[in-house]
Amino acid sequence: MASETDGADSRTPVFGDYVFYDSRMALKAIELQELYRFTHWGRSRSLEQIERMLDATDLCFSIRHDVKLVAFCRMLTDFIFRASVWDILVHPDHQGRGVGSRLMRYALSHPAVRDIPVVTSFASDLTPFLERCGFENREGLMVLQRVPIAYS
Ligand SMILES: CC(C)(COP(=O)(O)OP(=O)(O)OC[C@H]1O[C@@H](n2cnc3c(N)ncnc32)[C@H](O)[C@@H]1OP(=O)(O)O)[C@@H](O)C(=O)NCCC(=O)NCCS
């Protein structure tokens, strides 16, 4: 494993015992389903849905600790004007250690998206966390919620 760093370099793929990945191939749907079980919005997602979702997602970011998947987020983007970050998630045993912030820095500084002018995220529970990551709370975000959040 590469040497330990404080994660100051946002593209450094190691932070203590945490190893960062920016490939969809770095995780299996079943591992992500395990992680989703800790959320009210993700626990109903089936394996088949997760597999299709991962295959259709532009960028997947994940973190492993002792081989185990402990954090994830994904981005949908046109790679020029717009990007959005979804499913930001850290395993409860690993929250509050700076893993989530570093995952966001790692994702937002990815060469494929770091120059994109507008990046959005819809996560009403995470407003303070996202503000620390550089996002602003803008009124005017409109959502067409077709299915309750627990099933979407
Ligand atoms: C939100 C989350 C990703 C943050 O990850 P984390 O590794 O715990 O965050 P960090 O340790 O990097 O903390 C960064 C800062 O955000 C704050 N923070 C952590 N979780 C937060 C939350 N749920 N709401 C608001 N702020 C939060 C921390 O207090 C910390 O601030 P500090 O540096 O001033 O102490 C993680 O708590 C999580 O997975 N929550 C549940 C998943 C979820 O519901 N995701 C939304 C779907 S998009």
The residue extents of the domains of the chain are: 14-151
Q: Does the beta carbon of 40 lie inside 6 Å of ligand 1?
A: no
At residue 11, the pLDDT reads: 78
Task: Give nearest CA residue, ligand 1 atom 29.
Answer: 96
- Which residue has the least CA distance to atom 8 on ligand 1? 95
Residue 95 CB–ligand 1 contact under 6 Å: yes
Give the CATH fold of the 14-151 domain.
Aminopeptidase (3.40.630)
Picking from 107, 85, 106, 103, the residue whose alpha carbon sits closest to that of residue 94 is 103
Q: Residues 6 or more apart from 60 whose CB is under 8 A from it? A: 22, 23, 24, 26, 27, 54, 72, 74
> 40 CA to middle of ligand 1, Å?
15
How confident is the model at residue 5, as a pLDDT?
Answer: 40
The CA 126 to ligand 1 mean position distance, Å, reads: 7
Closest-CA residue, ligand 1 atom 12, reads: 98
Q: Please name the residue whose Cα sits nearest to atom 36 of ligand 1.
A: 90
Report pTM: 0.90
Residue 2 confidence (pLDDT)? 34
pLDDT by position in tens, the chain (length 152): 333 344 435 677 999 999 999 999 999 999 999 999 999 999 999 999 999 999 999 999 999 999 999 999 999 999 999 999 999 999 999 999 999 999 999 999 999 999 999 999 988 789 999 999 999 999 888 889 999 989 98
